[in-house]
A and B are shown apart, each in its own frame.
Chain A
Amino acid sequence: MKRSKFLQLFLGITLFLIFPRASAQTVFEGQIINSTSEAPIPNVNIRLATKKITATSNAQGYFRISSADSVVKDTLIFSSVGYQTLKLLTSAYQKNGFISLVPTTTTLEEVSITNEKLKIVRLNKFDLSDIKEDPPGAKAGPFPVVTYPFSPRNRFFAKLFTAPQGNAVLTRVGLGRRELDETKYPDKPLVTSHIKTRFLLHVLSVDPKTGAPDTLLFSKIINLTDKALWVELDLRKDNIIINPAEFYIAIEWMHIPFNEVIKLFYAPKVRKVNKKGNQLLEDVSEYTTLYEPALIEYKKKKPAVSWIKNHENKWQRYDSAISEQKREIALSATISY
């Protein structure tokens, strides 16, 4: 009997060592950006050299490529027309990081003069360094990257944009979006994964009396389907002409099941009451529902004017939750005029 059990154990261990675990899978994902302009690059070809697995980056420059093997000793090759090919050892890959490709031709940034009359300007621009998360294990400040608004009470956020002149065409909106990563922030409350999200993007006029957001000029439902930190919304086909030089861009959160994120807290529950009437407590789960998207708030000396809607559905000036630091939500607008 004992021998039989020993044989079973021996066989079990041998099989465990011989066969790799079927569930183990390695996923490489991240966002590919232009090293000069820091703009996301779509349609980049990504290839695992030895495994011969390929993928293409999406409109946000986001890619996801997976191998069935648990440990992949391979090379990731990123290639795209107009950029130098990048070879990255999988051992050097950082989870959900940015991959920078060097352009082979010079591209202009911020102000591009495409012809004598048309100018392109990115307003309230943020940089990669503003939204980039610290690598795992790095010593960050007390508030490395803050996520806003990750609270079920917030529905509207609006930021003021000032163009050099009126009658501009809004062509793009940039967003910094973040997923809370439990491995990087082990002491934070836990939240469920949340990649897909849907929200409303609004363009509003400025109330001349209060300076608050006023009349709705444009509205569009936006769907995001990946973990890209830097989101570029292409609005060129929407033909948005904004007459005044000042305008607001607002995000409206949709409190729908699609956007639900579950956050775990804990709360005491009475387990027993002894004869003296004293309660013995135990901690149990306490869930709360939040709604995507979570936007990135970064440090800025002179933040742009921003507003939120309060519980009475009235606009009020927005100040960062961290009052001792000046911060701004990563939201930019590209216009042409």
Chain B
Amino acid sequence: MKTLFTFLLLVLVTRVHAQDKLNVFHIVDSDTKLPIPSVSVSIIRARLAINTENDGIFSIPGDLSAMRDTIILAAQNYQVFKSPIRELKGRDNIQLARVAFLAPPKQPVSKPDTLLNDFNSSDIEHYAGIKERATPFEWLQLAQRFDSPKIGGVVKNISIYRLVFNLNSERQMDYASMEYTKFRVRIYGLDSLTHGPGRDLCSKVIEAKSNGKRHIKIDLTNLNIIIPDPAFFVAVEWVRDFHNMGYVRLNNADGLTMDRVINYRPAIGISPVKTNNLNIWGMNFRRAWLPYRYFSPDFTDLAIKAEVSK
């Protein structure tokens, strides 16, 4: 129901008529044939992106053979599937192949730690993940770059700060249920060519949930995430599904009218500490990593801290 609802919204955006055929697809693991949960679905030219629910189902209304667009499906630990939409005609399932993950040998975690990208959390004033009239937020992931204090060190925990409003009165408590969010955390190595995020350093899906908490600390000690490069990245992957769906109010130029458009939680904090280099990277709907310059040059880092063993 929620998936269909989400795509009913897409119908409105893509202006496909409601009486058109609804093409339903099941995304499954090519080996086990089991549904893959929370798959990222992007339609490039239409500038749309959602995530499936746990059932791995999504739907596209209309005549697929008439569509001139490209669809990309991606899930952690699976090969990315990219295809012209018209080639999906006649199919009802899409199989994704697993990617082999070579787990590093288990490493003992030493006691001395280094806290990377430290800042005073009470000084955070800016947040990424909210659409603006002039700049839509069309990013699937945002990643913070960290310089490794030592190659072979272990990522022990991370702290992520997100937008939550302080609730002080009984009336404001009505807002509490609206603050719910869940998102995924990805840990990447360094791509030596682009100097952006490279391969996954963790095969386990790390899902963070938060109802009213601004600070989300995730213990990674048991995941044996070993840093193989001079730098590594911690990314927030938005789960663009029904649960995270909220709105933004975009004011029109006349100053009197406004549009209400879909926006997915969470909004991630921007570090108040400015550094010498831009350390934020974004993955766009084509799944390409690019430097995220929206807050540059005033701000250079996400409000994400990482603690690693020395």
Contacts and interface: CB of A to CB of B under 8 A. Distances in A.
Given A186-B171, A283-B178, A257 B249 contact: no
Contact of B251 (A153, A265, A283, A285): A153
A262 B174 CA distance: 18
Interface in A200-217: none
Interface in A180-230: 182-183, 186-187, 190, 192-196
Given A262-B267, A264-B165, A311 B298 contact: no
Contact of B5 (A186, A264, A270): A270
Contacts of A190: 165-166, 172, 175
B255 A285 contact: no
B295 A257 contact: yes
Q: Which of A193, A266, A284, A311 has the most CB of B within 10 A?
A: A284
Interface in A273-292: 273, 282-289
Interface residues of B, number: 41
Interface in B51-73: none
B156 interface: no
A262 B251 contact: no
A310 interface: yes
Contact of B246 (A186, A187, A287, A310): A287
Given A193-B125, A196-B125, A286 B249 contact: yes
B126 interface: yes
Contacts of A267: 246-247, 260
A267 B263 CA distance: 12
A272 B2 CA distance: 8
A278 to B, nearest CB: 14
A262 B163 contact: yes
Contacts of A187: 169, 171
A8 interface: no
A286 B248 contact: yes
Interface of A: 151-154, 182-183, 186-187, 190, 192-196, 255, 257-258, 260, 262, 264-267, 269-270, 272-273, 282-289, 310-311
Interface of B: 1, 5, 124-127, 130, 132, 134, 163, 165-166, 168-169, 171-172, 174-175, 177-179, 245-251, 253-256, 258, 260, 263, 265, 267, 294-295, 298-299
The 6 closest A-B pairs by CB, nearest first: A153-B255, A186-B169, A285-B246, A288-B249, A190-B165, A286-B247
